[in-house]
A and B are shown apart, each in its own frame.
Chain A
Amino acid sequence: MPTLLIKNGRIIDPASEHDAIADVLIRDGIIVEVRPNLTAAGAEVFDATGLIVAPGFIDMHVHLREPGFEHAETIESGARAAAAGGFTSICPMPNTSPVNDNATVTRYIVDEARRRAVVNVFPIGAITKGSGGEDLAAIGSMRAAGAVAISDDGRPVMNARVMRRAMEYARSFGIPVINHCEDLHLSAGGDMHEGSTSVRLGLRGIPGCSEDVMVARDILLAEVTGARYHVAHISARHSVEMVAFAKARGLNVTAEATPHHLLLADADMQPYDSNYKMKPPLRGTDDVNAVLEGVVSGAIDAIATDHAPHPGSEKMQEFERCPFGIIGLETALGIALEQLVHPGRISLPKMIALFTVNPARILGIQRGTLAAGAAGDVTIFSATRSWTYDVSRSLSKSHNSPFSGKTFQGGPCATVVAGEIVWRMDQ
């Protein structure tokens, strides 16, 4: 394996509270040393002058569509898009076909990723068989095969007793339970957030309370079971407040927010444009503010994209027939800088923590730091460079993004996985 020396960047490693100009030396896929004025004979040198050098970003919530929906995305193409977004580790949700509810599928994803993915792939297994919400999946075997968490993302467990057992069982294997919180009876048939915009457009609403009631239920169950519990893509004010309440009680409860929920409200949506259709939906302005406040206060621990590719043919339909979800890997950092760092809501090190050490801790994976001996995963980015996103040049197989044409201040420059540069910005 080659040796890589990253020179003169501003090293920000929230895990070790390191923030200074220095060099990073990676050999055999492992970080050897971080300090100024390093030299290494024969090493490939990356000049990071003026750039930020951070631990490799982790996206704990993506959809890679393989196996089963390879026309939308593959493990290989999703991993390339991840690298272009500055991510070195991604966690695919189990809603593939077949569902990742047993060790065979988990192993397939792990093996396929090892062969074809340019970034690390840590699969998330299903909570219940087929994500049907009834019988627990083979959680222990999936864990043994490499799954780092369980979730029935997109098809939340509606039966509270099943959820309780899942939390108890997951605790015996030390993995977190991640829930896409949506009471399916309250949200049934909805296409966008229930509010003035849905009423004006004549579209059926998904009320904020459909998220809140399930967050409330799960927090109560997390207390009863002592489970590690994580709220996926939190979007509603009361949900954020309840996660803060759970943390104040000392429960093992965490939450993630997507970049789009940090940036857009329902009123920002282009009418009937399915690139604005996702679950949870873009909520009201007050909810967007609550998510931003939650990131600032620490109620929200991580940023995750919920990268959800759909091919053009499925998004070119009547709004109510289009599937939910947008891609997000390549625009996440740009949005986080725009909404969190540039307006001064949080510091750059704190933003980096949302992408690195925090998700690593939630998942219990040995990533997210630049300490000597850690995996040689590094994200090199600019916090100021102006660039414009063009989705037609996306490395994802799907192009369903509302952010094409948007200009960002700051974005990824190079992505290093195990000491190898797997993506770098066009010069």
Chain B
Amino acid sequence: MNGLLGIATLGREEIQAILDRARDFQAPPGQGFRTFSSLAGRTLVNLFFEASTRTRTSFELAARRLGASAISITAQASSVSKGESLVDTLNTLAAMRPDAIIMRHSASGAPHFLQQHLEIPIINAGDGTHEHPTQALLDARTILDRGAKLEGLRVAIIGDIAHSRVARSNVHLLSKFGAQIVLCGPAPLLPSELVDLAPGVTLTTSMDEAIRDAGVIMMLRVQLERQHEAAFPADEYFQFYGLRLEHLKAARPEVIVMHPGPINRGREISSEVADSQKSAILNQVENGISVRMAVLERVLGGGMNANAAH
């Protein structure tokens, strides 16, 4: 595995191996996280061209718990704002020889473009409206932890699908494992070509239809910052596409509600749902660290047999 650019090009076995390894890194019930040393002495650069607290922190903690050191650079602090090109910025960083670069960028394909010109592995922490592979991995880990099987599972993903990298990565992953994926949102945010993304995808503009018999409901953040135009009237969004308790009755009794965060209470999800027993939102955050540990170890070749060092 040379870097991690997206789920679309990842094999099922590779995904399974990461998900399995992530389990080893989860904190045992009632205990704290353990630390490992499989990446001792390695250096990671977190290069974030787009604001993000949770993903960046999650990668930093993941690196630290494997014994690696991580430095974080944000776009505002870097020379990008001085007009340096992306290629030059990356070449400069590469000359300092980190072991991997974790990168978030607002342009779709930016890490793919750079990987063509760079030997150092790049881990995609979200590129534009394209992919967010570690989010899909941690979502899958969270679903499996709740005892669900991905095969045949009906997953409703609701919100601004058109602009969502979380949705794309999840569609690719879930489809590879045989899930039925229902994508739902107002039509301007739900291009018909989404059905060509992967097998098992259907579309609906009706929230009730999407939720019927769903085992998992993934709500997406309404990202007004990614809207280049007013493609829908934001004022009435919650009325038609906000998740409320009454919706859950149509879902399967064991349904779980997920959200990549940060949540907009009262915009796409009601507080009652976000704080309910059905919500797996905090499990997602927790799994973010263990899944990213598994990814880092795999990319940096820390070895699957490196065992816990206490």
Contact = CB atoms under 8 A, between A and B. Distances in A.
A200 B8 contact: yes
Interface string A157-172: 0000000000000000
7 contacts: A202-B168, A203-B129, A205-B191, A271-B109, A272-B112, A318-B86, A319-B108
Given A199-B191, A202-B131, A319-B107, A271 B112 contact: yes
Contacts of B108: 201-203, 272, 319-320
Contacts of A114: none
B194 interface: yes
Binding site secondary structure of chain A: loop
Contact of A200 (B105, B112, B196): B196
A196 B191 CA distance: 9
B193 A196 contact: yes
Query: On chain B, which size bracket covers the interface?
Result: 20 to 34
B81 to A, nearest CB: 15
A318 B110 contact: yes
Nearest to A203: B108
A201 B111 CA distance: 12
Contacts of B196: 196, 199-200
Contacts of B229: 188-189
Interface string B182-220: 000000000101101100000000000000000000000
B79 to A, nearest CB: 15
Interface in A2-33: none
B228 A189 contact: yes
B67 interface: no
Contact of A318 (B113, B129, B162): B113
Given A188-B229, A200-B197, A272-B108, 8 more contacts: A188-B228, A189-B229, A196-B197, A199-B193, A201-B108, A204-B228, A272-B112, A320-B108
Interface in B94-113: 105, 107-110, 112-113
Contact of A201 (B86, B105, B130, B162): B130
B228 A199 contact: no
Interface in B56-94: 85-87
Nearest to B111: A272
Nearest to A322: B113
Interface of B: 8, 85-87, 105, 107-110, 112-113, 127-131, 162, 165, 168, 191, 193-194, 196-197, 228-229
A212 B130 CA distance: 28
B130 A202 contact: yes
Interface in A310-346: 313, 316-321
A24 B224 CA distance: 67
A186 to B, nearest CB: 11
A154 interface: no
Interface string A280-317: 00000000000000000000000000000000010011
Contacts of A203: 108-109, 129-130
Contact of A272 (B8, B87, B113, B228): B113
Contacts of B191: 194, 199, 205
Given A188-B229, A199-B194, A318 B109 contact: yes
A316 B85 contact: yes
B105 A318 contact: yes
A349 interface: no
A319 B191 CA distance: 21
Contacts of A272: 108-109, 112-113
A205 B191 CA distance: 11
Most A CB contacts (10 A, CB to CB) among B112, B193, B197 go to: B193
